[in-house]
Amino acid sequence: MHIVRIKGTTAAEIAGSVRDQVASGELAPQAGLPPVRALAAELGVNRNTVALAYRRLVEAGVAETRGRGGTVVAAVPQLAREGVGAGGDCVDLASGNPDPSLLPDILAAARSGSYSRPLYGAPALDAGLDAWARADFAEDVDHAFRTLVTHGAVDATERLLNAHLTRGDLVAVEDPCFLASIGTLRLSGYRSAPVRVDGAGMRPDALRAALEAGARAVVCTPRAHNPTGAGLTEERAADLRAILTEHPQVLVIEDDHFSAVSARPYHRVTPPSSARWALVRSVSKFLGPDLRLALVAADADTTARLEARLSAGTTWVSHLLQHTARELLMDPRVHELHERAREFYARRSALLVGRLRAHGIDVPYQPDGLNVWVELDVDGRATVAALARRGWAVRPGHLFAPDPAAHQGAIRITSSTVTEPQAEEFAAELAEVVAELRSTASTADAASTADAATGPPPSRPGH
Ligand SMILES: Cc1ncc(COP(=O)(O)O)c(C=O)c1O
């Protein structure tokens, strides 16, 4: 009954044959591989041999298991990204972007100061930027660390995970979670262990459960959590640290992406006993995402692994970008701008939360950062679609769920550029949309209850 011509008598040969067929296009993405039993019979091999071949293909990311649906050829994952904003004339409360008017002039900074055109062989780090980073990290890290620069936080997280983990490893991530982390996990073949977040960040019981389930890495946002805006309190950070102390080999990545413009202090999650850790500070939110630059403090072994990956890949982060970041970070006017940005972002999210509450939408705590997360008792996708028809773009909560079945009733609203009239108008319209969806749902419920009460139509005699 065979559809594909898979050959081989060993697991390696069978897996190789499948890979050849995927490469030639004979097996298309999502095509089902033959059932293990059938292929084993056809090739005259033990079932375990085929099962092993399929397992290797899954581990290599060539195939994926669908439970009872068998094993299928993996497709290139479709990943949700930040920055997807308003289509048409919608007001953009979806993009997750910083307010461009609160970012400094990058071009002017690139032209200022001295830039020496480094050639191959030059040190990877700009000395001035490195000195700034060391002083910044020294305020928050009280044990030995080394510094380096990456192409942003997402790049740092991916390289850090790849430096220490292998496909199939379990990674504890916040639930809900930053979109790019979900994408990184999927692309690299890691499994996610979702750790529920409340107003004070990762919940200790959930982190403990993830670690006990075998998580080999934890990615934690200490403040301005995206999408919820949660920030660790001192007590919560201490609780998480205590739990992580029991797992010194687990890689701890702290993604402090909102550092300079956060309304909250940084509370450290990494215990001094952690053997593998990194504190990542992207400049995207306060110097601009186009610098593609993040500063990283990490233990010596992790830094060496990260450096090795950088030099084998993009070699170094352009000194032109490092120079520009250094000029900006050392400029007192940029620090004044950051103070303004911190106030503006806090004021705008408070404004939006205030208007939402005034219209009866429950926002459980005051968020920090660029977004407000709302959990509704109606469908998030339907809410997003109804808001789009009224001219508002926001994002549905399920996109931020490590387990895509979760957060079906949530939406994320970007508050970074919201004005007072927009906040009022949006909150009023969201309340209307929710009321409409509730009444549609209760009408549908009433209809199905009536159907259940009357039962199926009686079958006619003789049929
Ligand atoms: C949690 C989190 N980390 C990091 C970033 C920034 O990443 P990058 O430095 O790669 O621009 C963002 C941007 O939205 C974010 O929300």
Q: Where residue 76 falls among pLDDT bands split at 50, 70, 90?
A: confident
Q: Is the pLDDT of residue 462 over 80?
A: no
Q: Where residue 190 falls among pLDDT bands split at 50, 70, 90?
A: very high
CA 361 to ligand 1 centroid distance, Å: 28
Q: Where residue 77 falls among pLDDT bands split at 50, 70, 90?
A: confident
The residue whose CB lies within 8 Å of the most ligand 1 atoms, and thus the one to mutate among 282, 290, 372, 416, is: 282
Confidence at residue 3, expressed as pLDDT on a 0 to 100 scale: 55
The domains of the chain, with CATH numbers, are 11-73 (1.10.10.10), 91-97+335-450 (3.90.1150.10), 121-329 (3.40.640.10)
The residue whose CB lies within 8 Å of the most ligand 1 atoms, and thus the one to mutate among 79, 82, 284, is: 284
Residue 152 Cβ inside 6 Å of ligand 1? The answer reads: yes
CA 283 to ligand 1 centroid distance, Å: 9
- Tell me: the pLDDT tens digits for 10-46? 999 999 999 999 999 999 999 999 999 999 999 999 9
- Tell me: the pLDDT tens digits for 156-173? 999 999 999 999 999 999
CA 264 to ligand 1 centroid distance, Å: 17
- Tell me: the pLDDT tens digits for 383-437? 999 999 999 999 999 999 998 789 999 999 999 999 999 999 999 999 999 999 9
Q: Where residue 314 falls among pLDDT bands split at 50, 70, 90?
A: confident
- Tell me: the pLDDT tens digits for 361-377? 999 889 999 999 999 99
pTM assigned to the model: 0.90
Residue 317 Cβ inside 6 Å of ligand 1? The answer reads: no
Give dist(CA 412, CA 383) in Å, integer. 11
Residue 282 CA, closest ligand 1 atom number: 9
Across the chain, mean pLDDT equals: 93
CA distances from residue 148 to 143, 158, 174, 277, 337 in whole angstroms, order as listed: 16, 15, 25, 13, 25
Confidence at residue 47, expressed as pLDDT on a 0 to 100 scale: 96
CA distances from residue 91 to 37, 372, 380, 400, 416 in whole angstroms, order as listed: 55, 16, 18, 21, 12
Residue 294 Cβ inside 6 Å of ligand 1? The answer reads: yes
Q: Which residues contact 219 (CB under 8 A, 6 or more apart)?
A: 157, 161, 171, 172, 173, 174, 181, 253, 255
- Tell me: the pLDDT tens digits for 245-287? 999 999 999 999 999 999 999 999 999 999 999 999 999 999 9
Percent of the chain with pLDDT over 70: 96
Confidence at residue 454, expressed as pLDDT on a 0 to 100 scale: 62
Give the angle 388-393-397 at the CA atoms, nearest 5°: 100
Cβ atoms 413, 371 nearer than 8 A: yes
Residue 54 Cβ inside 6 Å of ligand 1? The answer reads: no
- Tell me: the pLDDT tens digits for 200-224? 999 999 999 999 999 999 999 999 9
Residue 183 Cβ inside 6 Å of ligand 1? The answer reads: no
- Tell me: the pLDDT tens digits for 397-411? 999 999 878 999 999
Residue 299 Cβ inside 6 Å of ligand 1? The answer reads: no
Give dist(CA 294, CA 156) in Å, integer. 8
Cβ atoms 312, 85 nearer than 8 A: no
Confidence at residue 463, expressed as pLDDT on a 0 to 100 scale: 34
Residue 282 Cβ inside 6 Å of ligand 1? The answer reads: yes
Give dist(CA 225, CA 197) in Å, integer. 9
Residue 82 CA, closest ligand 1 atom number: 14
Q: Whose CA is closest to 144, among 303, 317, 311, 305?
A: 303
The residue whose CB lies within 8 Å of the most ligand 1 atoms, and thus the one to mutate among 178, 290, 292, 370, is: 178
Considering only CA atoms, which residue is closest to atom 2 of ligand 1?
257
Q: Token pair for residue 441?
A: 């749902």
Q: Token pair for residue 403?
A: 């387990």
Q: Where residue 453 falls among pLDDT bands split at 50, 70, 90?
A: low
Residue 368 Cβ inside 6 Å of ligand 1? The answer reads: no
CA 130 to ligand 1 centroid distance, Å: 21
